[in-house]
Structure 1
Amino acid sequence: MPKPAIAFTAAPTPEAQAALTRLTGAYGQAAARDADIVVALGGDGFMLQTLHDTRGLDVPTYGMNRGTVGFLMNDYDEDGLVARLQAAEEAVINPLRMTATDTDGTVVEALAINEVSLLRAGPQAARLRILIDGRERMDELVADGALVATPAGSTAYNYSAHGPILPIGAGVLALTAVAAFRPRRWRGALLPQAARVRFEVVNPQKRPMMAEADGTSVRDVTCVEIASAGDIRHRLLFDPGHGLEERLLREQFT
């Protein structure tokens, strides 16, 4: 198998930048548009940024952990990288598409690989009306907020908010409440991946909320629509036996 053209990219931290210098010296550096594989050096946050930056290239991305969490990353090792890339397993994930409208009527669209979250932006609890595919499913959720997570993002903020871990390929999304007050014990629901979720903010002037999608923040939202972006795919590479399926299973037993 011919040696792949690799485009290395790295977080701005000293550790990641030092790794970038060593790896490009050993394996060369291709432009992203000409690469067979992108190798991202950093943590999960940098991996998400890299996936967004290379979205239009349809090139697989292999991450090596030079950050902190590293759930989406492989172990860092400078030796034998070409063989690791050639043996890597691919996982394909779809992001969420957020359409948020604020009190001025401004509409903001953004993509989120992990989750779209709505959080209160004031001292009072938020009040949300929830519709699924145009049908009202909850007339009022009183909580600090709510989120919709993909399977790839289900171990992140969603899991911290006591949401479920979702297997890759399960075809579902997690709708999870954040510190629900009423219904007090309601933590959320599992939705088909094709579902369209709409949150409407009740009394946004008195109870302001913000929406967040992978670094894109919208303040003073009145409604937020969320749907899986099936037309967009991200290709992630993992060492054999350490793919997303295995990681999601392992997370549930540790």
Structure 2
Amino acid sequence: MAKKIKSKEREFIKIKDKNLTLEERIYAIPPNTYDFNMNKKYQLEKAGLWEKYDQEFILTLYPYPGYDMETEKKKDMTYVGLFNEEIENDLLRKDRVHICRRSHAEYSPFQLQIVGGCIITSPSFIAVLKSTSGRLKDKLTMVQGHVDYDPSFVLCKDMTEFVRKNAMRELNEEVKIKGEDLTDVITLSEKPKYVINKYTTLIDIEHIGFIYEASMSDEDILKLKSNEKDKHEVVIINRETLAEKGKDEFAFDSWLSDVITMITE
């Protein structure tokens, strides 16, 4: 399964078992070790991803427990719930944000990749994406993506606006309505509605999500199509059907499951 190979610096372990997923091959070695870092690079190169990731710069947070000034004790910042002023002050502050090469942050439990996401809703329906590849293959998920660095970040004073801009970009990249401009038929909330910061899966451990609500009419939401057919397809869920069957009848990914719970409570 594993074999020692030589690098220019020293030997490292690479995982060769083709029956394992990319995630499993990377995490087969304990993180924060020389072998882990070298094997991760090797696996991403084999998957044709390293060069692409190494040229991308994304925004990250370092996970930390936080500090309660009143009690002078550390507080657990794990949180799945509504976005509020306290979360904004504790988590989504510019002075806490780091600019990082995606190649370093990807598959790292020691940095939280900031994700801007959208849950697309109308009075009668919820639009989600069914992944056809990647770590979430066959799962229902939301429009979402890494928050990329761009020069406007230097002058940014409100991180919610910067993340919102990236969330809107993801909407335009991932879904479309033929003959329509999405900005004309979708209203995106000014601030995130929901926050996902938990440690249930490896994907959870590597990311923190700020989820906006993208509101549409019933007529328009039914026209939505995938703009990235090689990655996913649009699935429209009737709210009444969801209420009757319950969310366990749907293959929601971890984050979407949490957001659906908050929407339907």
TM-score category of the 2 structures, normalised to the smaller one? under 0.3
Flag the structure with higher strand content.
1
TM-score after normalising by structure 2: 0.26
Structure (1/2) with the larger helix percentage: 2
Per the normalisation by structure 1, the TM-score is: 0.27
